[in-house]
Amino acid sequence: MTRVLLVPGRNDPLPEHWQEWLARRDPARRWVRHATGGRYVADERVAALAAALDGVTEPTVLVAHSAGWLTVALWAASCGPGPVRGALLVTPPDLDEPWTDGTSVLPALPDVPLPFPSILAASRTDPVMTYGRAAHWAGRWGAELVEFGDAGHLTTADGYGPWPLAETLIARLVPRR
């Protein structure tokens, strides 16, 4: 069996968010919890992901939204793949543009391929990262780029909710026996 860990963005998702929808669809899916609220403190987020993976032996797929992609990239750069066999990185923010509220601490983004297969899912109308920049990062990280139309930042304010494509993309990352 493959474990699925949900890595939230800067804020915990609202109950209607697509990651919450994924969690409700399968009670075996787990959250990577953090104590930073709406602030992004990289060391604390990476430590929370490391703690969630500590002792895990089964293959694991990470599903990260927004700033959660930074957590995944930083963790992978410092810890290697561990049990992670794939990552779905959804609507990452462009760290070259101001997207924080001034309280978040942002380290340099790792600029090397991820040590596991990954899919970067990007919207053509994301206000926090252009599709071109998403394509750039997909290439730098060795991720497959999946374009899913005009969906903004894939938040509840953008109308998501249920996002069935996530299930399809996760299934593509699950290791085959």
Least confident of 19-23, 36-40, 58-62: 36-40
Residue 79 to residues 2, 47, 82, 101, 166, Cα–Cα distance (Å): 20, 10, 7, 29, 26
Cα–Cα dist 44/147, whole Å: 31
Q: Residue 163, Cα to own-chain centre: how many angstroms?
A: 15
The dihedral built from the CA positions of residue 61, 142, 112 and 164, taken in this order, carries a sign that is negative
Mean pLDDT score, 157-172: 91
Examine residue 152 and say whether the peptide bond preceding it is cis (omega within 30 degrees of 0). Answer: no
Cα–Cα dist 105/125, whole Å: 26
Give the pLDDT confidence of 70-121 residue by residue, as tens digits. Answer: 999 999 998 889 999 999 999 988 876 555 556 555 677 788 899 999 999 9
The dihedral built from the CA positions of residue 135, 160, 109 and 53, taken in this order, carries a sign that is negative
Q: Higher model confidence: residue 159 or residue 49?
A: 49
Q: What does the mean pLDDT of the chain come to? A: 88
Q: State residue 97's pLDDT score.
A: 53
